[in-house]
Structure 1
Amino acid sequence: MPPQLAHIRNWIFDLDNTLYPASADLFGLIDARMTRFIQDLLGLGWDEARRLQKDYFHAHGTTLSGLMAEHGVEPRHFLDYVHDIEMDVLREDRQLVEAVARLPGRKLIFTNGDEAYARRVLAKLGLEESFEAIHDIHACAYEPKPQPRAYERMAEAFGIEPGESLFVEDMARNLKPAKAIGMTTVWVNNGSEQGREPDDRAYVDYEVTDLGAWLHEILGDR
């Protein structure tokens, strides 16, 4: 382990587009169901529902948070609907599975999705036994990343010290609050970033394109 990472005791990973390639476009299936949900809820055409969905995402952190705030949508109903998808596009990545297994310390999932969905994804990826726990949107009390309270709740729930923790995400904006409380941050730059405004990303400690390869590198395999 590189000296600059020797203090890490907690390895925290986002799920979608982080533990599998963004090119799989699994989230694209969910994204489309979110739009259809808004169409049905509000009686809108596809384009208007799509615009509203993205507005809620950028303003509230997730489409769900926007729908809850603006329309009182029941979260479990929404999540059951949007996660009702096939996962045939996912493939096990042995390089990643083996690297995660060898990481020293605790390993956790921190996702804006829900636990049932996350467990289906992890099973398809061969990672179902790799993580101690999943901190999902319900555990966040529906305050999603990148809201600072989401990170505080996660740290409190597992009794972890942020300064001994590393957080991996495909969306750079979700790393900023993690860095603010002392976490080491890793951005998986794979083209899935949905932010509107570029910034200097000074809160990103490591930028990687292949998570499995990077983990093997820090483990001293190459």
Structure 2
Amino acid sequence: MTIARARQRRPQRAARTPVWLFDLDNTLHGASHAIFPAINQAMTQYIVDALGVSHDVANQLRTSYTHRYGAALLGLTRHHPVDPHDFLKVVHTFPDLRAMLVAERGLARILAALPGRKIVLTNAPEAYARAVLAELGIARLFERVIAIEHMRTRRGWRAKPDRAMLRAMLRRAGASLADAILIEDTRGHLKRYRQLGIQTVWITGHLPERAPAMRAGGRSGSSGRPHYVDHRVRSLKSLHAGLRSGRLRQTE
């Protein structure tokens, strides 16, 4: 038997199935339009009421804890007597969520066309995440929602970009780091998780106008794509178009 014939008979390695890890806010919908301002206002007011501090102090605590821990909730539970479940419910409840949502046209069709498994990975609470997915008409496209309640361990609350948490969540989902593709608007999360070897996609279309130019702890090339970002896209539509053409398109 010739070497060439032996190679032909060698079984082909099965193609790997991608596991898409979608952030929720400013990734699957435009939270900066109305939802983020409402959440920020509600968080600050909750801190004022719970801790008896001024509005300025509450606002400073909210922003500093978000930057330090990835979610304001983590700082509040570690340093103050705050009921985490009450906090999450109060600041993520909206009387007319549908009117606040902004999303890409044809979002469900775009997501359905992406090959592989799809998981939502968000620092938001589960009830809010599922309500958003339901209003957008895309809930059925995701096999699971990993919300901040699911990231909690016996040692306390966790959130993105905690690396041990991500490893644990992927194990629970029966997925490997090698197959994971994280789609995020937050570059700090992309940077930290890229160190685990997963693919990273930075989506910028829902970001405030100045956000892409802000510092994120890494040098960018002429395309504005930091070294820890494998692909930069403006929208999920452009992500899908890049896959169809055989490469992910990077947009300015």
Q: Distance in 1 between matches of 2:194 and 2:216?
A: 19
The equivalences for 1:169-184 within 5 A come to 169-184=184-199
Are 1:53 and 2:58 matched, yes or no? no
User: Which letter does structure 2 place at the counterpart of 1:102?
Assistant: A
Could you say which structure has the larger radius of gyration? 2
Correspondence for 2:40: 31
Moved more, 113-122 or 94-103: 94-103
Shift of 1:58: 1.2
Which region of structure 1 is more displaced relative to structure 2, 65-74 or 191-200? 191-200
Residue aligning to 2:166: 151
Q: Which residue of 2 aligns with 1:212?
A: 237
Preserved CA contact (<8 Å) 1:8 1:166? no
Question: Within 5 A, what are the aligned runs for 1:86-165?
Answer: 86-87=96-97, 88-91=99-102, 93-141=104-152, 142-165=157-180
Given the two structures, how large is their TM-score scaled by the length of structure 2?
0.79
Q: Secondary structure at 1:129's aligned position in 2?
A: helix
Distance in 2 (alpha carbons) for counterparts of 1:22 and 1:136: 16
CA apart distance, 1:55: 1.0
Q: Distance in 2 between matches of 1:133 and 1:84?
A: 21
5+ long unaligned stretches in structure 2 = 1-14, 220-225
Unaligned runs of 5+ in 1: 1-5
Is 1:20 the counterpart of 2:29? The answer is yes
| Aligned pair partner of 1:40 in 38, 49, 59 | 49
Query: Shift of the alpha carbon at 1:217?
Result: 3.1
> Do the aligned residues in 1 keep the contact of 2:30 with 2:102 (CA within 8 Å)?
no
TM-score (norm 1): 0.89
Aligned partners of 1:175 and 1:204 also within 8 Å? yes
| Alpha-carbon separation, structure 2, partners of 1:174 and 1:89 | 25
Higher relative CO (Cα under 8 Å, sequence separation at least 6) belongs to: 1
Question: Structure 2: how far apart are the matches of 1:158 and 1:146?
Answer: 18
1:17, 1:204 → 2: CA distance? 17
User: How far 1:61 moved relative to its partner?
Assistant: 1.4
Number of aligned residue pairs: 217
Matched AA of 2:188: R
Question: Letter of the aligned partner of 1:27 in structure 2?
Answer: F
The SS at the match of 1:216 is: helix
Aligned-pair distance for 1:92? 5.2
Q: Which residue of 2 aligns with 1:3?
A: none
Post-superposition CA distance 1:143-184 (Å, at most 9, x none): 100111221122111010111111100101111232122211
Residues in 2 aligned to 1:199 and 1:14: alpha-carbon distance in whole angstroms: 21
Give 1:81 shift.
0.7
Contact 1:143 1:149 (C-alpha < 8 Å) held by counterparts: no
Task: Return the alpha-carbon distance in structure 2 between the equivalents of residues 114 and 61 of structure 1.
Answer: 14
**3-state secondary structure, aligned to 2:76:** helix
Does the Cα contact within 8 Å between 1:91 and 1:124 map onto a contact in 2?
Answer: no
What is the percentage of aligned positions where both structures have the same residue? 36
Contact 2:148–2:158 (CA under 8 A) maintained in structure 1: yes
Q: Which amino acid aligns with 2:184?
A: E
Which AA in structure 2 matches 1:187?
W
